[in-house]
């Protein structure tokens, strides 16, 4: 585990252009950055594009990082923005059946049919939410953002975040129940 002192040293070296330090700095967050991109876009190829865009943006903007937030919070915000930018470019958010089984692949490559079916259902349900609701849910549940961080990201009051999160969870539950009725 990286300590704050280690992270500060890695950050300083990465700001000087040390790519190994940059890789080491982001290593603890990579899986969660991937999860944010994947769950926001709902499509593996789009998530790969978003993550790549995010890593490039993080690298290019690292010298401008002032440390007002933690490096992880800053990186997650960039990843979220990159994923939303991919969605805006794509305009239509769907999980096509050919790729749905891979949406929530485990990093170790293991595959459990039942887990994949559940993850597919959740991903389809997430894709029915509005962008604001999907974003607030992904940032809270998968990126571990605080309500305040989400409010800052979405540029809304904390109470709006609470309301959106409550409504998003309710709509997600309804979408999951509707899927049960269809299947």
pLDDT digits (tens, 9 = 90+) for 33-82: 998 898 888 888 889 999 999 999 999 999 988 887 788 888 988 998 89
pLDDT-based confidence at residue 104 (cuts at 50, 70, 90): very low
Q: Which of 141, 46, 39, 26 is nearest to 92 (CA)?
A: 46
Q: What is the pTM of this model?
A: 0.59
Q: How does DSSP assign the chain, residue by residue?
A: ---HHHHHHHHHHHHTT-HHHHHHHHGGGHHHHHHHHHHHH-SHHHHHHHHHHHHHHHHHHGGG--SSS-HHHHHHHHHHHHHHHHHHHH------HHHHTTTT--TT----HHHHHHHHHHHHHHHTS-HHHHHHHHHHHTS---HHHHHHHHTS-HHHHHHHHHHHHHHHHHHHHHHHHH-
Q: Is 170 exposed, middle or buried (0-12, 13-18, 19+ CB in 10 A)?
A: exposed
Task: Give the pLDDT confidence score for residue 115 in this predicted structure.
Answer: 60
∠ CA 31-29-83, nearest 5°, is 65
Could you report the per-residue pLDDT of 16-34, keeping only the tens digit for each?
A: 999 999 999 999 999 989 9
Region of poorest pLDDT, from 50-59, 101-110, 123-132, 160-169: 101-110
pLDDT over threshold 60, residue 183: no
pLDDT-based confidence at residue 160 (cuts at 50, 70, 90): very high
Task: Give the pLDDT confidence score for residue 61 in this predicted structure.
Answer: 92
User: Domain coordinates of the chain in residue numbers?
Assistant: 1-93
pLDDT-based confidence at residue 106 (cuts at 50, 70, 90): very low
pLDDT-based confidence at residue 97 (cuts at 50, 70, 90): very low
Tell me if the domain spanning 1-93 has CATH number 3.40.50.2020. Answer: no
Task: Give the pLDDT confidence score for residue 2 in this predicted structure.
Answer: 56
């Amino acid at each position: 585990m990286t300590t704050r002192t280690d992270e500060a040293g890695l950050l300083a070296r990465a700001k000087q252009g040390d790519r190994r330090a940059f890789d080491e700095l982001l290593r603890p967050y990579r899986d969660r950055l991937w999860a944010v991109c994947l769950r926001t876009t709902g499509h593996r190829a789009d998530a790969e594009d978003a993550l790549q865009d995010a890593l490039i943006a993080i690298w290019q903007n690292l010298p401008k990082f002032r440390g007002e937030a933690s490096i992880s919070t800053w990186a997650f915000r960039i990843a979220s923005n990159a994923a939303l930018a991919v969605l805006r470019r794509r305009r239509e958010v769907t999980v096509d059946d050919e790729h749905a089984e891979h949406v929530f692949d485990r990093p170790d490559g293991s595959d459990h049919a039942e887990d994949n079916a559940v993850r597919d259902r959740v991903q389809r349900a997430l894709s029915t939410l509005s962008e604001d609701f999907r974003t607030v849910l992904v940032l809270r549940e998968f990126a571990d953002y605080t309500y305040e961080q989400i409010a800052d990201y979405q540029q809304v009051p904390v109470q709006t975040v609470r309301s959106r999160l409550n409504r998003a969870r309710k709509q997600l539950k309804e979408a999951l129940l509707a899927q049960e009725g269809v299947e």
